[in-house]
Structure 1
Amino acid sequence: MTDCGCTKAKKDLEEYLHNELQADDAADIREHLANCPDCESEVHVGIVLTEVVQRACKETAPEELRVQVLTQLRSIQATHLS
């Protein structure tokens, strides 16, 4: 393992957070993060952002709002297709 440096750590951050890197690359980034407060801070922001997006994707809009949005979309489509 070798410290990959800030440039590579930041470039591969999203893949790292989603466990999409080869084991060696992930280990290099982990080692870098252990010694770089700036990059570790970016990882923390990435983790929080990912969690918020995941939670938001699980929520559903109230039925009344969904009906209003669909009605408006259909109205716009009808206007533009005519």
Structure 2
Amino acid sequence: MIDQKESKGDCREARAALEEYLHNELCSEDAADVRAHLAECPDCSAEHHVGETLTAALQGACKDRAPEDLRARLLASLRAAKAEHE
């Protein structure tokens, strides 16, 4: 039987590393530890799923482009502001 204290410590460590895990920023050993924990812990696995969903939504939103006329007006405004300060 898993010690409750040990399990909570594992969860704390896994959740602390979850952001880096989601972005593939952990070394292979740490990533394997998080992966193993997620396979055994439904609570942390659910949190990981939420993180994956949010990450995918944000990545999708970043692929949208502003309409060309808005982009042109914005760039013109930025160039004018820059010219004023030079």
Fold match (TM-score > 0.5): yes
Match of 1:44 among 43, 46, 49: 49
Secondary structure of 1:74 counterpart: helix
State the one-letter code of the partner of 1:47.
Answer: E
Q: Distance in 2 between matches of 1:5 and 1:36?
A: 13
Corresponding position: 1:70 with 2:72: no
SS in 2 for 1:12: helix
Q: What is the aligned partner in structure 2 of residue 60 from structure 1?
A: 65
Given the two structures, how large is their TM-score scaled by the length of structure 1? 0.70
Whole-angstrom CA distance in 2 between matches of 1:80 and 1:65: 23
Distance in 2 between residues matched to 1:27 and 1:76, nearest whole Å: 50
Gap runs ≥5 in structure 1: none
Distance in 2 of aligned mates of 1:43 and 1:51: 12
Q: TM-score, normalised by structure 2?
A: 0.68
For residues 32-69 of structure 1, give each alpha carbon's deviation from its aligned partner in whole angstroms, at most 9, with x where no partner exists.
Answer: 223241x2232122101210122122221110110111
Q: Structure 1 vs Structure 2: percent identity of aligned residues?
A: 50
Structure 2, unpaired ranges of 5+:
1-6
Which residue, out of 7, 10, 23, partners 1:5? 10
Aligned residues: 78
- C-alpha RMSD of the superposition: 2.2
Task: Give the aligned partner of residue 41 of structure 2.
Answer: 35
